Amino acid sequence: MKKRYPHKTRVLLVNITRLGDMLQATPTIAGIKMENPDCHITVLVEKQFAEVCKVIPNIDEIVGIDLNFVVRSISREKDGIIDAYEYMTEMVESLRGKKFDYCLNMSSSGYTALLLNLIGIKRNGGWTSDEEGYRVIESDWARLFATSVFHQNRQYNSLNLVDVFRASADVDIHPRNLLINVEQPSLDHCETLIHEAQFTNTGPLIAIQAGASQGKRQWNPKQFVTLITNLIEKHNARVVLTGAAKEKPIIDPIVEGCASRNVVSVAGKTSVPQLAAMLKMSDVLVTGDTGPMHISVAVGTPVVSMFLASAYGFETGPYSEGNLVLQPVIGCGPCNPNKPCSKPDCHDTISPELVAHLAISRAKGDVFEVASHLADPRGVVVYRSTFDEFGFIDLVPINGQPQDPCARHRVAYRKLWLEDLGGFPVQYTPKTSGLAVVDHGLEGLSQIGECAIHGQKLMDTLVQLVKDNRTTSGQLKSSNEEIAELDRRIEELGFNYGHFGALTRMFIFAKENLQGSDAVDLASQMKSIYCDLERRCQKFAVFYAGA
C-alpha cells in the first residue's frame, strides 16, 4: 500500500465520543503496533469513555478530556470562560509535552481539528486545521471518508470505514477483526446470569440486541417476539436480550410477549466488559447496526445484522469474516441519518422466519448460501462478510444477484480507490477503454473529464499570466473567474449525476486543502488536482466496463 508516514514512534489517536467508534479503531491501533513494535500510542477520548478504553488492547496511555466541564464553564460566562480557557491551555500544554510525531484524528468535529492545530503535530492522517481555523484533511483516504459519508455518495461506497481510517493511518498489516479484552470476573458474572435464568431448552444461546440508536433503525418489537418464539419452539434455543437500562421499555414488552422461561433480559445488568463476556458466551448475536454488534465481532461471536433505514452494511458492517448482513433493497435506502421516517417500509422486507433461519444456521457453522425463496434478492440482500486479497473487508451476496442499480458502480469505485489511493495491483478485464464507453451508468462522466482537462489548460494559462510582468489585474481577475465557474460546473455535475458525486467531492476536498501562498505553486497544485480528476474518470470508465 502507498504510505505517506510509515514510521511512527509516538502516536496520538483522537476518538472522542462513542464505544462503537473506539472498537472500530482497534484494527488501526493494532496495525500501528504490528508495523511499529516500539511505538507508544496515546488515545484522547471524552472523559466518560476513558474507563471503557481500558478493555481495548494495544493502548499505552488514555487521556480523558472533560468537554462537559468546558461547556458548563463557558455557559457561566465571566469567570467560567477563564476556567475553560485555563483547562484547555493546561490540556494543550500537557499534550504538547508528549512530543507526538503522528496523529490520527478519527473525529471530524471542528473543535478536535482546532485542538490538534494548537498541539502542533506535524504529521496527520485525519482532520486538523490551519492557522485561521479552516479544516485541513491531508490524507486522501481521510478525504475519501468525508466523501463516502456525504449522503448522496453513500450507496456507491463499498469500503468499510474501518478500512478507510486504517488506510488513512498507512496501516497495511492488521488483525482482520475488532479487538476487546474479556476478563474472568466478567465471564463469572455472566455465568451467574445464565444460571439464574434456569432455561429449560438446551439448544444454542442466541443473544438479541433489540434496541438501536434511532427509532427508525429499530425493528418492530412484534417482529422480535415472532423471531424469538420461532427460535425457542422450533430450534430449542435459549435467548438472552441484551441492552442498556434505558432500553428496558423496548425489551420488557418483548420478554412479556414471548411468555417463555427460555428468554431472559439482561438489560441494565451488564457493564461494557460484562456485555462483551455475555456475547463471547453466546453462539450468535442478532442485532441492528449497533455498538453491541461491534463488541460481538470483537469477541469472536458471529452476528446476523439487520441494516435498516439509514444503516448501510458496506459502510459500518461487522468487521470480521463470516458475518451475515441483511440489507433491504428499497429506493429510499439507506436514508439520511439526520431525517426522520414516518413509515420505514424497509423493515417489512425482512421476515422473522428468515432471521431465525440465518441465526440457527450461523450458530451451527459458517453460511455461504441462502435459498432465494427464503430471501428474495428483490426485497433483501443477504451478504456474507469476507476479506479481499488486499485485506479490505467486503460483502458478498449469498442469496442471488442483488437487484441493485448501484452495485456495478460500487465495484468500479472499490477498484478505483484501491488502485488510485492505495497503489494495489487491482485485477480487471476491460471490455473497452477510456471515456468512449457508451452506457447509461456512465452518463455525465465524459463531461466531468472534459472539465478536468479544461482546468489543466486554465492553470497553464494562469501560470503564464502570473509570470508575465505585463499582466494586468483585470486579466488575473478574468482568469480566476473562469476557474471559479469551471469548478462550480464540476460540482454541479456531481449533483446532477449522483453516481459521480464521489469523484467530484474528492476534487472539492482536494481543492479546499491547497497549501501555501505562492501563486505559481498554488496553480501547480491545482493543476495536479485537475489531473487527478481526469485520471480517476478514465480509470472509473475502465473498471465500470469490466464490472
Alpha carbons 80 and 129: distance in angstroms, whole number: 26
Looking at the predicted structure, is the pLDDT value of residue 441 above 90? no
- The angle formed by the CA atoms of residues 124, 129 and 134, to the nearest 5 degrees, is 145
Helices and strands, counts by H and E, the chain: 19, 14
The three-state (H, E, C) secondary structure of 388-404, written as one string: CCCCCEEEEECCCCCCC
CATH number for the segment(s) 184-410: 3.40.50.2000
Q: Which of 278, 221, 276 is nearest to 247 (CA)?
A: 221
Q: pLDDT tens-digit profile of 448-464? A: 999 999 999 999 999 99
Burial class (CB in 10 A: 0-12, 13-18, 19+), 90: exposed
Residue 10 contacts residue 3 (beta carbons within 8 Å):
no
Q: How confident is the model at residue 36, as a pLDDT?
A: 97
- Which pLDDT score, from 0 to 100, does residue 436 have? 47
- CATH code for residues 10-168: 3.40.50.2000
Identify the DSSP state of 344. Answer: -
Q: What's the rounded Cα separation, in Å, for the pair 239 and 206?
A: 5
* CB atoms inside a 10 Å sphere around CB 8: 24
Strand order in the sheet with 324-328: 263-265, 238-242, 205-209, 284-287, 303-306, 324-328, 380-387, 393-397
C-alpha grid cell, residue 493: 455535475
Q: Tell me which long-range contacts 132-139 makes (C-beta under 8 A, separation of at least 24).
A: 134/512, 135/110, 135/512, 136/513, 137/509, 137/512, 137/513, 138/4, 138/513, 139/4, 139/168
What are the pLDDT digits (tens) for 488-524? 999 999 999 999 999 999 999 999 999 888 999 999 9
User: 343-353 pLDDT, tens per residue?
Assistant: 788 888 999 99
pTM: 0.93
d(CA 491, CA 442): 17
